[in-house]
Structure 1
Amino acid sequence: MPENEPWEYSLHIPNDLRAVTVSRRTLRLILTMHGLIRLVDVAELLATELVSNAVRHTKGPAALRVRWSPPGTLRIGAWDADPGPPEPPQPFEQAAEQEDGRGLALVRACADVWGWQPLAREGSRGKYVWCELGAA
């Protein structure tokens, strides 16, 4: 499938730390199959942080969502069932010295843009935390 066509994948995962590895490997396969191998390393890091937060800090199911929008934007997001906002990221220099709490600081440092939004659709609640990478 050419890079100039949009696509989107969703992977629904249980609240299980092993889902982080499954998500990371699935993302690698998706990007490789779409010819976006140059984005794999950073995308895997970002997806690992987002999915890890969704699994570690909530009690319900989660999902990884990956979307390609031509001409060159990759959006990676994690949904979880908790509608509360994520903890704001600390400055990367400060977060790098800690054992925990580096996830969103890494996302902010490595992604072109990131954000989150609460969701309430058909009685389902939760939030979606996302980031974007440019392919250039």
Structure 2
Amino acid sequence: MAIAQGRAPAPPPALVRACAARSGRTRVITLDLESDATSAHRVRTATRQVLAHWGLLTVAGVADAMELAVTELVTNAVQHACGPVQVRWHRRPDHVLVEVFDGSPVRPRPRPSAAGQEEAAEHGRGLALVDACTDAWGWSGSAAGEEPELPGKHVWFVCLLDSERRSRAA
């Protein structure tokens, strides 16, 4: 799967659509996914390709953190929402913002782990992992009466590219 940015003479592969959105120094790459068992693998591959395209694979801690966080969010969208999933990577001078859009309006809720059951649990740790490996995260849905950009909600996270992140990763 190839990630393209900007305008291409022919459409890129079926699942990938790159946007030439440049406002200031922001670059955006978009990936449309079907909600199926291959989505997590596809988004991990795409994340590495996006980071390589932007020259960010070697920024300490960023690639692994982004790959883990976006995989968790896409997995949640596939398991708990209905319909297709869209992922957007926004490159800014000092950080990367990643958004995962899904068709469910239901708020994402981190599950508290019960004492002694933490190791046995197979589900419910995704948002805790996102919180632990990113610099910020959150979500938003469409407000009543507003025309949403996409129906449902989007969950987002930020990974900083500055020296603070590099020193924390060391």
User: Which TM-score tier does this pair reach, normalised by the shorter chain?
Assistant: 0.7 to 0.9
TM-score (norm 2): 0.70
How many residues are matched? 131
- Secondary structure, counterpart of 1:121 in structure 2: coil
1:113 aligned partner:
136
| CA distances 1:65-92 after superposition (whole Å, capped 9, x unpaired) | 111111x11111210000110123536x
Residues 50-129 of structure 1 correspond to what in structure 2 (within 5 A)? 50-70=73-93, 72-90=94-112, 97=119, 98-119=121-142, 121=147, 124-129=150-155
The answer for the alignment partner of 2:21 in structure 1 is none
For structure 2, the residue ranges without an aligned partner over 5 or more in a row are: 1-23, 163-170
CA RMSD, Structure 1 to Structure 2 (Å): 2.3
Among candidates 25, 34, 46, match of residue 5 of structure 1: 25
TM-score by length of 1: 0.86
Higher strand share: 1
The answer for unaligned runs of 5 or more in structure 1 is none
Following superposition, the deviation at residue 5 of structure 1 comes to: 3.5
**Larger-Rg structure:** 2
CA distance in 1, matches of 2:161, 2:80: 30
Over 3 Å counting, the alpha-carbon distance change for 1:104 and 1:123 in structure 2 is closer
Q: Is contact 2:110–2:125 with CA below 8 Å preserved after alignment?
A: no
CA distance in 2, matches of 1:27, 1:115: 19
Q: Which has the higher contact order (CA 8 A, sep 6+)?
A: 1
Sequence identity, in percent? 34
Higher helix share goes to which structure?
1
